[in-house]
């Protein structure tokens, strides 16, 4: 059975992007990127919202983006060597290989995918991850905390859900970022068997 991991960059005050939608402050140096490469090599299936998919597809569709660096090329190879499930109500066909598009997150379908997968699964994007967390699907949260506070923006974690967590790993990187990995024991307040959309985020959540 595969574990579902939610991994994300975050500011010290808990945002994946600032109020202007920028996340340039989280661009990794080579040392941190090597850690991302190692994580991605263990991923068999990725769960992505539309915006995250459109951001990440360059790792397959634009070789010039990564071919000049061995570290970036290694990440591209690992990213391509995984299945992708994209949750979108507007996309009609994928632009990358090994990619399927579904309209909504079905907790039972994700559980079946976990049961059938020997490798880890990765959910990307805080809004899609919030649905997975509310449904009790996430087994581990990996936060790469960068040495910056942005004041406001998109929260890395749902603000309406208490999580009981156990620290299982920590790493420090040359640029001052810190990785904290937590095993999820319980999601208190979630509804078993249903993907609950956080209050105030009722429209096209899986698009973001």
DSSP one-letter code for 159: T
Domain that holds residue 84: 4-173+188-207
For the chain, the C-alpha Rg in angstroms (whole number) is: 16
**Is residue 26, in this structure, part of any structural domain at all?**
yes
**Is residue 181, in this structure, part of any structural domain at all?**
no
Instruction: Quote the pLDDT of residue 201.
Output: 37
**Is residue 72, in this structure, part of any structural domain at all?**
yes
> Rounded to whole angstroms, how far apart are CA atoms 63 and 42?
22
- Exposed e or buried b per residue across 73-94, where buried means at least 16 C-beta atoms within 10 angstroms of its C-beta: bbbbebbeebbbbbbbeebeee
Instruction: Quote the pLDDT of residue 114.
Output: 94
**Is residue 200, in this structure, part of any structural domain at all?**
yes
What is the tally of structural domains in the chain? 1
**Is residue 114, in this structure, part of any structural domain at all?**
yes
DSSP one-letter code for 66: T
CATH number of the domain to which 192 belongs: 3.40.430.10
**Is residue 183, in this structure, part of any structural domain at all?**
no
**Is residue 180, in this structure, part of any structural domain at all?**
no
187: which strand partners?
A: 163
CA dist 205 → 19, 41, 160 (Å) = 18, 28, 15
Per-residue pLDDT tens, the chain, 208 aa: give them. Answer: 889 999 999 999 999 999 999 999 999 999 999 999 999 999 999 999 999 999 999 999 999 999 989 999 999 999 999 999 999 999 989 999 999 999 999 999 999 999 998 899 999 999 999 999 999 999 999 999 999 999 999 999 999 999 999 999 999 999 999 999 999 987 655 444 333 333 333 334 443 4
> Rounded to whole angstroms, how far apart are CA atoms 33 and 157?
22
The SS3 assignment for 79 reads: helix
Global pTM value = 0.87
The region that residue 65 occupies, defined by phi over 0 for left and psi between -120 and 50 for alpha, beta otherwise, is: alpha
């Amino acid at each position: 059975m595969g574990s579902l991991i939610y991994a994300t960059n975050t500011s010290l005050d808990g945002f994946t992007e600032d109020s202007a939608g920028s996340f340039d402050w989280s661009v990794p140096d080579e040392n941190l990127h090597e850690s991302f490469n190692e994580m991605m090599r263990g991923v068999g299936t990725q769960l992505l919202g539309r915006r995250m998919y459109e951001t990440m597809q360059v790792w397959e569709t634009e070789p010039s983006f990564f071919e000049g660096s061995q570290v970036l090329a290694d990440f591209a190879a690992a990213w391509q060597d995984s299945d992708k499930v994209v949750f979108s109500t507007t996309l009609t066909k994928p632009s990358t290989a090994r990619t399927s598009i579904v309209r909504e997150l079905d907790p039972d379908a994700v559980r079946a995918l976990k049961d059938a997968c020997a490798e880890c699964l990765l959910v990307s994007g805080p809004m899609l991850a919030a649905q997975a967390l509310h449904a009790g699907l996430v087994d581990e949260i990996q936060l790469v905390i960068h040495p910056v506070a942005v004041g406001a923006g998109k929260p890395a974690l749902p603000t309406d859900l208490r999580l009981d967590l156990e620290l299982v790993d920590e790493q420090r990187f040359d640029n001052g970022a810190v990785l904290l990995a937590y095993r999820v024991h319980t999601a208190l307040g979630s509804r078993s068997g249903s993907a609950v959309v956080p209050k105030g985020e009722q429209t096209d959540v899986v698009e973001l």
